[in-house]
Chains A and B, each alone.
Chain A
């Protein structure tokens, strides 16, 4: 028996009847509520991992539940339950209603299906088509490849995972929206050793497509080569310099700079409450001329893309900075209503057990006219950062950091040597004013981004062309 046939058959119809959902909705919504919805989710995840040359971590999980939500003004009542019997659902509905002072009910509405948005990804389980035996063979092949590339490779870790989330949203007006979301990921990391010194390198990729694609394309091999190359590079890395200097960012994943420095600060909740450094700055210059930043949830098969957001609103391509001027915020329905605007399709939640927050989808900068070679050549003495690990931001002060995983020290426009993971730190409302060159080579990241906010994680994408920033603080140990 293969696991492919064991993979749970997901319901095309919700696991709770329409009649029950209708009575739960009626029980939940008092007269005077501004908004409210039920979020019914069934999701399954499968993961298989290789270490020490052996596939030995095979795991799966299945979650289902209902989130119930009532909104009135700035208040929201949320409740969730993992138990889908009618009594538990009614109890959740009653708890969500707790913010309301009115005891009057709204007249019940008829639940009606709403036409779904364009399909950005397949609505079938991405695990289908590549059964566990095939996934195991794929991982074993990657392990052999990694070890064959260099005798210094001592340990290989590879992991392939897939998830499939089937959601039904019932809104206060009775609109009934369905989305089925695949998501896959392949990670490879290696440990290399030379003269007793150990280093590591890793690479990953994925998106909203079938696992089969990892087996069909050279993508998996490419990740292995990258992981090994980075680990060996780290063996030769010098301590990074410490201090303020010009920095050139490579294309693609370094777009995490936009995510941290700008994106979070433009999320509607912080701006409505006046707690973001970008509050009340619409129409003002926040970046150098030539910089245009978009958040686009509509790119086919990307990790941050969604047919509809978690409030059932169609996702969009939203321009947040145009030629350096702040043009918009990222909004969910509640913040849009309170700010007198329309939702931008950015209402997201990790699962039925979490609140809706305005979040990014895929955030990137449009390309400019400079050639990447010219940008690197312009660097007298500074850092060329090609790849990053994670980053973080403080919305209120605007300070952000990210850490390099592949970076070089450059003098007179020439790469001198690789430098160890260094933290770059800056202030969001200052850094994009200091951009002096924008490359013509926009790339999106390989599909590995996960964004944390308010204790919730959601998949996101980032992108960037090669970029020169005239001044950034580099946190190395070489003072």
Chain B
């Protein structure tokens, strides 16, 4: 098996963005910015010791935002395309300008001028710190890692009855941004990941679980053996689950499930949602929404974080900050528009993908760990539930009402006694945040977030 390597179109990415800006200005836009992305990647899936699929990605695209002066204020529109031919670029530019002319002028529109861009020194320092490094894999090495991982997981114990396969993926991206105020920059990212999913038990008693890891470089990945053991152990531990009694109890979220709480927090402090009063945290700026021992950081420049970025989707320089500082909500996440409307600082949180409007999102989120192991936390709460899996989407972002399917382990007298599934856990996010009793020492990275175990008292469990 051989793959010739397509060189990522690095050299042309900034060029495309700049050409697009020229094109849009010729079509009548007065301000423009553009983001161009080029991805190449490979992935190999093996199952039962044989190759199930080999995939190759060669993707590119750019998003363009154009502002047009209506005489009554600025109107704008966005468009994106994967057709980077000369005619494709011209068509995109013509389309976005025509659309901007129809959009309603917005007196608060923020054109891409006067943004706080990173300086050329910062750009150089960034590229020195995170060089355009290879991911360290080719298809053969990835196949070997996936084969090894799947084999170890399948052979971990006779209780492992089936496999959903192991997947090894690797790739690189180049991201470029340019705006009509003269700023233009690009950077590269690489990644490698390994995952496996296995089944324990048979028939109606089957339980499935998985484990994965992702890093900038294949050599930074956890070993195939560690990943395989984690997946197999988790699937076996869930065999023969029962239900539990309905009632109020303390719930311990292990890092994997606790990371969803971070997601709800970030959704709740999204500047756009705040502006539209569509979040349960709209009135909570500077309020103590967590106990004092909680600090959560948004860090765009961390050696372990897959969400590193020097500038955001509007070219704004990204700076690290504590979102939650000793329990207090320090800021909303903003792009330039929401910062202006909310009269809040720009946090450099504009997110732009290959399609759609500009969104808002975090870089790397780090929930500062506590000092206790998960085992000690369980011993301390006495009775409750350890949640290892959640299912469904029962979260109302406007009210914070929370009700989700769950599975995990019943805790009695400070010890895990048996697996439970088919239950739900419910509460209200605001009350849940305030009712955090303990934070574990087991900080675990999941790509662009790092979370420890978290114990919350007073949640309602629905079971039998």
Interfacial residues, chain A to chain B (CB-CB below 8 A): 1-3, 6, 8, 45, 51-52, 54-65, 74-83, 88, 91-92, 94-96, 98-99, 132-133, 136, 154-155, 157, 191, 193, 198-200, 240, 242-244, 273-275, 277, 353, 355, 389-403, 420-423, 425-427, 429, 473-479
Q: Are A421 and B95 in contact (CB under 8 A)?
A: no
Query: Nearest chain B CB to A433's CB is how many angstroms away?
Result: 12
Query: Nearest chain B CB to A68's CB is how many angstroms away?
Result: 9
Chain B residues positioned under 8 Å from A78 (CB to CB): 53-56
Name the CB-closest residue of B to A270: B164
Query: Nearest chain B CB to A6's CB is how many angstroms away?
Result: 5
Q: Is B14 interfacial (CB 8 A cutoff)?
A: no
Q: Are A242 and B462 in contact (CB under 8 A)?
A: yes
Chain B residues positioned under 8 Å from A74 (CB to CB): 47, 50, 52
Q: Are B104 and A55 in contact (CB under 8 A)?
A: yes
How many inter-chain residue pairs (CB < 8 Å) link A and B?
288
Docked CA distance A60–B82 (Å): 12
Query: Nearest chain B CB to A191's CB is how many angstroms away?
Result: 6
Chain B residues positioned under 8 Å from A157 (CB to CB): 276
Given contacts A56-B106, A401-B394, is CB(A242)–CB(B207) below 8 Å? no
Specify which of A399, A402, A476 is in contact with B421 (CB 8 Å cutoff): A399
Docked CA distance A193–B401 (Å): 16
Q: Are A136 and B460 in contact (CB under 8 A)?
A: no
Q: Are A479 and B393 in contact (CB under 8 A)?
A: no
Docked CA distance A120–B404 (Å): 38
Beyond known contacts A154-B277, A243-B462, A423-B404: 16 more, CB 8 A cutoff = A51-B276, A75-B52, A75-B54, A79-B56, A92-B56, A95-B54, A98-B139, A99-B54, A199-B398, A397-B207, A403-B394, A420-B396, A422-B426, A423-B426, A427-B422, A476-B403
Docked CA distance A401–B403 (Å): 10
Secondary structure class of chain A's binding surface, majority of residues: strand
Q: Are B207 and A95 in contact (CB under 8 A)?
A: no
Specify which of B88, B99, B278, B394 is in contact with A423 (CB 8 Å cutoff): B394
Given contacts A75-B51, A273-B162, A277-B206, is CB(A401)–CB(B79) below 8 Å? no
Interface centre among A82, A389, A398, A476 (most CB of B within 10 A): A82
Q: Are B460 and A476 in contact (CB under 8 A)?
A: yes
Q: Are A132 and B102 in contact (CB under 8 A)?
A: yes
Interface centre among A59, A81, A99, A243 (most CB of B within 10 A): A59
Q: Are A98 and B2 in contact (CB under 8 A)?
A: yes
Q: Are A61 and B139 in contact (CB under 8 A)?
A: no
Specify which of B164, B282, B462 is in contact with A479 (CB 8 Å cutoff): B462
Instruction: Identify 25 residue pairs between A and B in the complex whose beta-carbon atoms are under 8 Å apart, listed by A's number.
Output: A1-B98, A2-B102, A56-B76, A60-B79, A60-B95, A63-B355, A74-B47, A75-B54, A92-B58, A98-B2, A99-B1, A154-B277, A155-B278, A191-B276, A191-B277, A193-B277, A198-B398, A200-B398, A392-B392, A396-B208, A420-B399, A420-B401, A422-B394, A427-B422, A477-B426
Chain B residues positioned under 8 Å from A8 (CB to CB): 91, 95
Query: Nearest chain B CB to A274's CB is how many angstroms away?
Result: 6
Chain A residues positioned under 8 Å from B79 (CB to CB): 59-62
Q: Is B357 interfacial (CB 8 A cutoff)?
A: yes
Q: Is B144 interfacial (CB 8 A cutoff)?
A: no
Q: Are B98 and A91 in contact (CB under 8 A)?
A: no
Q: Is B100 interfacial (CB 8 A cutoff)?
A: yes
Q: Is B417 interfacial (CB 8 A cutoff)?
A: no
Interface centre among A1, A6, A391, A425 (most CB of B within 10 A): A425
Specify which of B52, B60, B392 is in contact with A402 (CB 8 Å cutoff): B392
Query: Contact string, B385-410, partner A, CB cutoff 8 A, digits 1/0?
Result: 00000011110101101011101000
Chain A residues positioned under 8 Å from B59 (CB to CB): 65, 80-82, 353
Docked CA distance A88–B240 (Å): 51
Chain B residues positioned under 8 Å from A88 (CB to CB): 58
Specify which of A2, A99, A200, A397 is in contact with B51 (CB 8 Å cutoff): A99
Specify which of A94, A154, A390 is in contact with B392 (CB 8 Å cutoff): A390
Name the CB-closest residue of A to B247: A479
Specify which of B53, B98, B248, B394 is in contact with A421 (CB 8 Å cutoff): B394
Chain A residues positioned under 8 Å from B47 (CB to CB): 74, 273
Q: Is B427 interfacial (CB 8 A cutoff)?
A: yes
Q: Are B423 and A473 in contact (CB under 8 A)?
A: yes
Which B355-374 residues have C-beta < 8 A from chain A?
355-357
Interfacial residues, chain B to chain A (CB-CB below 8 A): 1-4, 6, 47, 50-61, 75-84, 88, 91-92, 94-96, 98-104, 106, 139, 162, 164, 199, 203-204, 206-208, 243, 246-248, 276-278, 282, 354-357, 391-394, 396, 398-399, 401, 403-405, 407, 421-428, 460-464
Q: Are B396 and A200 in contact (CB under 8 A)?
A: yes
The 6 A-B pairs of least Cβ separation, nearest first, read A475-B424, A401-B392, A401-B405, A242-B462, A396-B208, A95-B56
Q: Are A6 and B94 in contact (CB under 8 A)?
A: yes
Q: Are A155 and B277 in contact (CB under 8 A)?
A: yes
Docked CA distance A91–B42 (Å): 13
Docked CA distance A88–B84 (Å): 13
Docked CA distance A63–B82 (Å): 5
Given contacts A83-B60, A155-B276, is CB(A425)–CB(B55) below 8 Å? no
Chain B residues positioned under 8 Å from A426 (CB to CB): 422
Specify which of A99, A275, A389 is in contact with B199 (CB 8 Å cutoff): A275
Chain B residues positioned under 8 Å from A98 (CB to CB): 1-3, 54, 56, 139
Query: Nearest chain B CB to A399's CB is how many angstroms away?
Result: 6
Name the CB-closest residue of A to B235: A396
Docked CA distance A398–B207 (Å): 9
Docked CA distance A193–B356 (Å): 30
Query: Nearest chain A CB to B367's CB is how many angstroms away?
Result: 25
Given contacts A82-B58, A243-B464, A403-B403, is CB(A473)–CB(B422) below 8 Å? yes
Given contacts A58-B103, A191-B278, A401-B405, is CB(A473)–CB(B460) below 8 Å? no
Q: Are A421 and B405 in contact (CB under 8 A)?
A: no
Q: Are A423 and B403 in contact (CB under 8 A)?
A: yes
Q: Are A479 and B246 in contact (CB under 8 A)?
A: yes
Given contacts A82-B58, A88-B58, A242-B462, is CB(A355)–CB(B53) below 8 Å? yes
Docked CA distance A396–B78 (Å): 42
Name the CB-closest residue of B to A1: B98
Query: Nearest chain B CB to A128's CB is how many angstroms away?
Result: 15
Docked CA distance A51–B248 (Å): 40
Chain B residues positioned under 8 Å from A193 (CB to CB): 277
Q: Are B462 and A474 in contact (CB under 8 A)?
A: yes
Docked CA distance A307–B260 (Å): 39
Chain B residues positioned under 8 Å from A51 (CB to CB): 276
Docked CA distance A402–B403 (Å): 10
Docked CA distance A244–B98 (Å): 56
Q: Are A82 and B208 in contact (CB under 8 A)?
A: no
Chain A residues positioned under 8 Å from B460 (CB to CB): 242, 475-479
Q: Are A275 and B58 in contact (CB under 8 A)?
A: no
Chain B residues positioned under 8 Å from A400 (CB to CB): 391, 405
Docked CA distance A393–B354 (Å): 29
Docked CA distance A88–B246 (Å): 59
Q: Are A429 and B204 in contact (CB under 8 A)?
A: yes
Interface centre among A157, A390, A401, A423 (most CB of B within 10 A): A423
Name the CB-closest residue of A to B407: A399
Q: Are A397 and B208 in contact (CB under 8 A)?
A: yes
Docked CA distance A394–B276 (Å): 35
Query: Nearest chain B CB to A81's CB is how many angstroms away?
Result: 4
Q: Are B98 and A6 in contact (CB under 8 A)?
A: yes
Docked CA distance A75–B278 (Å): 47
Docked CA distance A343–B452 (Å): 47
Interface centre among B51, B83, B208, B394 (most CB of A within 10 A): B394
Name the CB-closest residue of A to B99: A58
Query: Nearest chain A CB to B173's CB is how many angstroms away?
Result: 14
Chain B residues positioned under 8 Å from A394 (CB to CB): 208, 391
Query: Nearest chain B CB to A125's CB is how many angstroms away?
Result: 14
Specify which of B53, B99, B392 is in contact with A60 (CB 8 Å cutoff): B99
Given contacts A65-B82, A403-B394, A423-B394, is CB(A198)–CB(B56) below 8 Å? no
Query: Nearest chain A CB to B254's CB is how many angstroms away?
Result: 17
Docked CA distance A352–B248 (Å): 48
Q: Are A275 and B164 in contact (CB under 8 A)?
A: yes
